[in-house]
Amino acid sequence: MHRKLRLLATVTLLVGLFAAWAGTRHAEAAPAAPTTQAAGQTFTVTVGHQVFTETGDKSSWQAGRFYPESLTINVGDSIIFKHDAAVEPHTASFLGADNKFPDFLLAPSGPPPSGPPKLEVNPLLLFPVGGNSYDGSTLVSSGAMASDIPGPKEFTVTFTKAGSYTYACLIHSGQAPDGTLGGMIGKLTVQDAGKPYPMTPEQVTAAGKAMMDADEATAKAAEPEAKKVTTSTGPNGETIYHVNASYSVHLGTLGALLDYMRFSPKDLTIKQGDVVEWASGTPNGFHNVLFGDEPELFTFEPQQAGPPKAYISNEVFLPMGAATHTGTGIYSAGILQGPADPPFPGAVTKYSLTFTQAGRYEYICGLHYHNGMDGTITVKTSAGSIPGMPTTGSRSDWLLLSLVAGLILALAGMALRGRKVGELA
């Protein structure tokens, strides 16, 4: 499969998705004795985290979480949001007074398209907004941060007004119909200047590090379950292979997810006529299954003023291809989400393909290929072979090979004898 994923392709993963969350607040780490400090303190919050459970430079798990998820500061203090998820994009964002979460896609403008619609991404999700000072009145956001996206990997905000605020990653969180935010969010209390702090900046950083360590242990404990494979029998006797398109674990009580960025199994061998069904191994997930040449995930149109328009690939976000893989063409699940996730336009919770042509087929998650989320399907003929490969392993196979070998030896012997006769003559 042709690989041409652009650096900015990482901006789209888990877009618009947020997990179900409990109604209780996340408990902060046990605070030390309150201390009073001068105004102008700087606190650090880590944005995202990657967990490695296998060799290589691509993490197998990504935690969509802030570390820590809640803290208390004073008016005049600042927070540095530091990205720590490699190619996984995140934002650090504070909503405006209306508490309205930006839509992921903009509504189409102009006359209806004659072909597939153009899916324009809301620039509020991709680019910095509002500067570096926050008083609760307007949206302030870092824009997308990731190691392969040009620009800063940290974002500093100074708080000028007391209040209770929510910070969020606009890519990995969302808003319920009643206005409640969930997913990758955090809670911030800004006190009047001069009040004692529940935790010092150093204690806040230590609390975040303790959360990371706990989440790494959670990922390692969950991986065996994420790798389990099941099969079933279809109505015509075909085997249906059930592949986990990721596996997620809830973290805390605000809705953060720890996501396994792998197909399980990654490599699968089946027979002609068998079916492969992809679905999330848990109630939540936001992924894609894509066979064929990898598309440009983003296309950009420069504007005379303001940021460029960004359009996302239809081949990743919209279903394409028939239900039967015939050996060529593009086949896409579109967005494959978990059964407990809020509906995303056009998304499905299961995706199935019947394979009729023997061969080896590569596929990817169009949203998370940069994280190592790819796989292969090897389809054998009904007799159990792959085109171009010798058939071995059964008594009849060995008998056939023996006959062929005997014939080759006999012909070689005849040729040798003919040459000897010629030499004697």
Q: pTM, whole model, 2 decimals?
A: 0.78
How high is the pLDDT of residue 378?
97
Q: Is residue 139 part of a domain?
A: yes
Report how far residue 245's alpha carbon sits from residue 135's, in angstroms, rounded to the nearest whole number.
41
Q: Where are the alpha helices (DSSP H) in 106-265?
A: 123-126, 201-226
* Residue that is written with structure tokens 């303790």 in the block: 210
Evaluate whether residue 173 is within a structural domain.
Answer: yes
Of 14-23, 147-156, 342-351, 399-408, least confident by mean pLDDT is 14-23
Domain count, the chain: 1
CATH of the domain at 100: 2.60.40.420
Express each pLDDT in 7-28 by its tens digit: 333 333 333 222 222 222 233 3
The reply to whether 169 falls in a domain is yes
Two structure tokens written together for 94: 């504070």
The residue segments making up the domain with residue 201 are 10-221
Beta strands in 87-203 (DSSP E): 93-94, 119-121, 133-134, 140-141, 154-159, 163-175, 181-191
> What is the token pair recorded at 416?
């040798």
Residue 149 has pLDDT above 50, yes or no: yes
